[in-house]
């Protein structure tokens, strides 16, 4: 028996059934923050950043963040995926590539990482997992964690940091240390402790340096090692307070400063300064310079010695020799 005025088509029942299933099975949204204990850790690189995606406020594919000053870009960040958390005012990022502009050199420094977290109000970015920094001159730094402070336009890290370059595929210099502070505008990278370095010489041999701290200027291809510096070359060993290497128009030079002690072919040289051409044989000592060998002592304002010969040249020489 049909009620007057009611006639239902079979399509009505299909639509009603789908509506009921959607009402029961559709997931509820959640604005509740997922604490660290609720995060998923699939690898050591993911750390805090591999979150339970269903608890994010919302997610976006192909996200870009950028900052400009006076109409000029300062940095930009690209992420394959981002979770935006409105309450905490940050974004969790995945597959992150970033560009940071040096306002002094006008060069661009590139970074890559597996994950990141961008804090909008703080102008602060955390990167984690296979983090790399590549300078415009081809020097590559890598570590596990890196922070960017937009107020000072600088990078910091507490990790072990390594570097190679200037060609990533055929590097001639390697650097390693603990802790990093980097001024982006000056392209100045400071390693805070336990610094060691190797540089391949034209002969194929190596110059090795170790020190307490170290600085590297990627734009100038210039490295400065400080504190208890030990420099080892094929024929010469030098200890000093400071040791500096630089490349200028193809010429590679090194300088040692402060309490310089040089050992070569049974000779020991002392000075406040030492100058040498990397891969060359001439070494110049200045500042209370003296050479001791076989009980003989020679002093002078300026002493030039040759690492592959017994010859030395002395200005205003004085000294004593064994009879």
Nearest partner of 308 among 256, 233, 200, judged by Cα: 233
Tell me, what's the pLDDT at 115? Answer: 93
Encode burial over 204-236: b for 16+ CB neighbours within 10 A, e otherwise: eeebebbbebbbbbbbebebbbbeebebebeeb
Q: How far apart are CA 80 and CA 61, in angstroms?
A: 6
Q: Are strands 188-200 and 58-69 parallel, antiparallel or unpaired?
A: unpaired
pLDDT of the chain, 323 residues: tens digit per residue: 444 444 455 544 444 444 444 433 343 433 333 333 333 333 333 334 444 554 555 666 777 776 777 777 788 888 898 887 777 778 888 999 999 988 888 889 999 999 999 887 788 899 999 999 999 888 999 999 999 998 899 999 999 999 999 888 899 999 999 999 999 999 999 999 999 999 998 888 999 999 999 999 988 889 999 999 999 998 999 999 999 998 866 678 999 999 999 999 899 999 999 999 888 889 999 999 999 988 889 999 999 999 888 888 888 777 666 55
Distances (CA, A) of 70 to 10, 67, 74, 98, 148: 65, 10, 10, 20, 20
Residue 74: partners with Cβ closer than 8 Å, 6 or more residues away:
67, 68, 100, 101, 103, 150, 153
Q: What SS3 class is residue 93? A: strand
Q: How far apart are CA 265 and CA 269, in angstroms?
A: 11
Nearest partner of 190 among 162, 217, 227, judged by Cα: 217
pLDDT tens for 80-91 read 988 877 777 788
pLDDT tens for 215-273 read 999 888 899 999 999 999 989 999 999 999 988 666 789 999 999 999 998 999 999 99
Where do we find the tokens 């590679």?
252
Nearest partner of 302 among 313, 292, 310, judged by Cα: 313
Domains and CATH numbers, the chain: 41-190+212-220 (2.60.450.10), 233-323 (no CATH)
Q: How far apart are CA 241 and CA 83, in angstroms?
A: 49
Tell me, what's the pLDDT at 183? Answer: 94
Beta bridge partners, 91, equal: 84, 118
Instruction: Quickly list DSSP for 33-51.
Output: PPPGGGS--SSTTTGGG--
181 membership: H or E segment, kind and range? strand 173-183
Give the 3-state secondary structure of 237-276.
EEEEEEEEEEEECCEEEEEEEEEEEEEECCEEEEEEEEEE
Residue 169: partners with Cβ closer than 8 Å, 6 or more residues away:
none
Whether the CB-CB separation of 301 and 289 falls below 8 Å is answered with yes
């Amino acid at each position: 028996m049909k009620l007057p005025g009611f006639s239902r088509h079979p399509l009505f029942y299909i639509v009603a059934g789908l509506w009921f299933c959607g009402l029961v099975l559709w997931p509820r949204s959640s604005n509740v923050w997922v604490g660290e204990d609720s995060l998923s850790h699939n690898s050591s690189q993911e750390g805090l950043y591999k979150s339970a995606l269903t608890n994010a406020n919302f997610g976006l594919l192909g996200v870009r963040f950028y900052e400009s000053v006076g109409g000029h870009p300062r940095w930009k960040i690209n992420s394959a995926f981002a979770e935006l958390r409105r309450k905490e005012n940050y974004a969790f990022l995945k597959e992150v590539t970033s560009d940071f502009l040096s306002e002094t050199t006008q060069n661009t420094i590139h970074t890559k990482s597996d994950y990141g977290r961008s804090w909008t109000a703080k102008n602060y970015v955390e990167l984690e997992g296979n983090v790399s920094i590549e300078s415009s001159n081809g020097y590559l730094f890598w570590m596990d964690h890196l922070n960017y402070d937009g107020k000072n336009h600088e990078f910091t890290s507490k990790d072990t940091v390594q570097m190679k370059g200037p060609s990533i595929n055929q590097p001639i210099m390697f650097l390693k240390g603990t802790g990093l502070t980097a001024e982006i505008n000056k392209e100045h990278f400071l390693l805070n402790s336990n610094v060691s370095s190797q540089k391949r010489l034209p002969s194929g041999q190596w110059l090795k340096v170790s020190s307490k701290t170290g600085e590297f200027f990627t734009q100038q291809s210039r490295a400065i090692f400080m504190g208890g510096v030990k420099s080892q070359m094929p024929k010469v060993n030098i200890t000093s307070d400071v040791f500096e290497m630089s490349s200028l128009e193809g010429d590679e030079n090194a300088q040692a400063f402060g309490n310089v002690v040089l050992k070569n072919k049974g000779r020991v040289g002392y000075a406040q300064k030492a100058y040498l051409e990397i891969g060359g044989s001439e070494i110049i000592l200045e500042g209370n310079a003296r050479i001791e060998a076989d009980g003989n002592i020679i002093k002078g304002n300026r002493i030039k010695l040759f690492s592959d010969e017994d010859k030395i040249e002395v200005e205003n020489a004085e000294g004593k020799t064994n009879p």
